[in-house]
Chain A
Amino acid sequence: EVQLLESGGGLVQPGGSLRLSCAASGFTFSSSAMSWVRQAPGKGLEWVSTISDGGGSTYYADSVKGRFTNSRDNSKNTLYLQMNSLRAEDTAVYYCAKTTLSTKRVGMRRITMIVAFDYWGQGTLVTVSS
């Protein structure tokens, strides 16, 4: 059974930093891409970032690019999200999700596409407030 358990959420002041973790089990973590998706209170889902199975490729939403870093430790079956320069609008429940990618060749280039978020954790709440 796939299990994803997020941790590390909490209250942080604007401009502060926080690191989220997502412990994975029940599947071959090192062979799976992973993502972070967030949901502000009472609002819809917002994609944050995706990382490839080996960690060599990362993708970010414009709203977090340059402030958040998505990384993984395959020896520990753990995904991380380092969040810096936090803003009030980053307040949300953050979900980690097992992700399916698809790769196709276009001419000499290989393009990787994010297909779907197959399994989700229960989320961890991040509140940015003074």
Chain B
Amino acid sequence: QSALTQPASVSGSPGQSITISCTGTSSDVGGHNYVSWYQQHPGKAPNLMIYEVSDRPSGVSNRFSGSKSGNTASLTISGLQAEDEADYYCSSYTSSSTVVFGGGTKLTVL
């Protein structure tokens, strides 16, 4: 199972919006609505930000939103803040009853 494809890095200025893409296949992202997004600060454990494509766990800011079109899922962060600077990973359930992660995207807040 190949990793999902994410851009290695994205950047934005405070207050702006950015979008991180996550491309898979019809066997994972395109075939199931079990796409999640995780935020990881350096040296820390990952934190769930989005599940089931677009749902937010309680406590996660509504500045974070998710969507999906075909085999590509996206995470949008609006009103960028300095504390959003982190690595972001997407994941998807697959038709093989496994989970595949993306390679990760480093978000820099300029």
Contacts and interface: CB of A to CB of B under 8 A. Distances in A.
Bound pair: A and B? Answer: yes
Interface residues of B, number: 26
Interface in B21-48: 32, 34, 36, 38, 40, 44-48
Interface in B55-102: 57, 89, 91, 93, 97-102
Nearest to B34: A115
What DSSP secondary structure best describes chain A's contact surface?
strand
Given A44-B103, A44-B104, A113 B36 contact: no
A113 B51 CA distance: 13
Contacts, number: 71
A116 B46 contact: no
Nearest to A112: B97
Contacts of A100: 51
Interface residues of A, number: 27
A61 B51 CA distance: 21
Contacts of B36: 115-117
Contacts of B102: 44
A130 interface: no
Nearest to B47: A120
A27 interface: no
B98 A45 contact: no
Nearest to B40: A45
A47 B97 CA distance: 12
Contact of A113 (B47, B48, B57, B93): B93
B46 A95 contact: yes
A66 to B, nearest CB: 15
B34 A116 contact: yes
Contact of B89 (A44, A95, A114): A44
Contacts of A111: 97
Interface of B: 1, 3, 32, 34, 36, 38, 40, 44-48, 51-52, 57, 89, 91, 93, 97-104
Given A117-B46, A120-B47, 15 more contacts: A44-B89, A47-B91, A61-B98, A62-B98, A112-B97, A113-B34, A114-B34, A115-B34, A115-B36, A115-B52, A117-B38, A117-B48, A120-B45, A121-B45, A122-B45
